[in-house]
């Protein structure tokens, strides 16, 4: 999730891509070894994300409040937004997280009930 809309108003928190509404979706669609990587310049969104990930049992593998001064910068691919925010002197927050071990999964089709005669 690169520089997603932070939806700063509290009443819009459910629209954030790291809200309780979206995390279960990621848990279902990520592959077995799938993970979530996020970059943002928004302090509040980063704090909100850390909190919601913890509430759902996600594991934070990597985290920094200043990506460009961290060891994680070596593998970073800078986006246009990131370049613009960095030029304005903003720190870039970064995290790498994995979903809980026990994921909720759904079959593509629910089983059909058997008819008893």
- DSSP tag of 111: P
Residue 114 has pLDDT above 90, yes or no: no
CATH of domain 10-98: 3.40.50.150
Q: What value does the mean pLDDT take over residues 64-88?
A: 94
| The predicted structure's pLDDT at residue 101 | 78
- The number of beta carbons lying within 10 Å of the beta carbon of residue 113 is 6
**Residues 14 and 48 sit within 8 Å (Cβ to Cβ):** no
**Helix (H, G, I), strand (E, B), or coil: what is residue 47?**
helix
The per-residue pLDDT of the chain, averaged, comes to: 89
Residue 51 has pLDDT above 50, yes or no: yes
**Residues 66 and 91 sit within 8 Å (Cβ to Cβ):** yes
| The predicted structure's pLDDT at residue 67 | 97
Return the active site residues: 5
pLDDT band at 113 (very low <50, low <70, confident <90, very high): low
Q: What value does the mean pLDDT take over residues 9-23?
A: 95
d(CA 46, CA 40): 7
Residue 116 has pLDDT above 80, yes or no: no
**Residues 42 and 74 sit within 8 Å (Cβ to Cβ):** no
Task: Work out whether the CA dihedral 91, 95, 53, 35 comes out positive or negative.
Answer: positive
| The predicted structure's pLDDT at residue 57 | 96
Measured CA distances, 44 to 5, 6, 12, 32, 47 (Å): 12, 8, 13, 30, 5
- Count the residues in the chain: 117
């Amino acid at each position: 999730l690169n520089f997603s809309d932070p939806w700063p108003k509290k009443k819009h928190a459910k629209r954030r891509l790291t809200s309780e509404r979206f995390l279960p979706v990621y848990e279902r669609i990520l592959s077995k070894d799938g993970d979530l990587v996020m970059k943002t310049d928004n302090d509040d969104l980063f704090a909100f994300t850390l909190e919601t990930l913890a509430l759902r049992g996600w594991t934070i593998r990597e985290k920094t409040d200043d990506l460009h001064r961290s060891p994680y910068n070596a593998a970073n691919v800078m986006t246009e937004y990131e370049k613009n925010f960095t030029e304005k002197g903003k720190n870039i927050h970064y995290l790498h997280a994995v979903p809980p071990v026990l994921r909720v999964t759904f079959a593509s089709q629910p089983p059909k009930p058997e008819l008893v005669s």
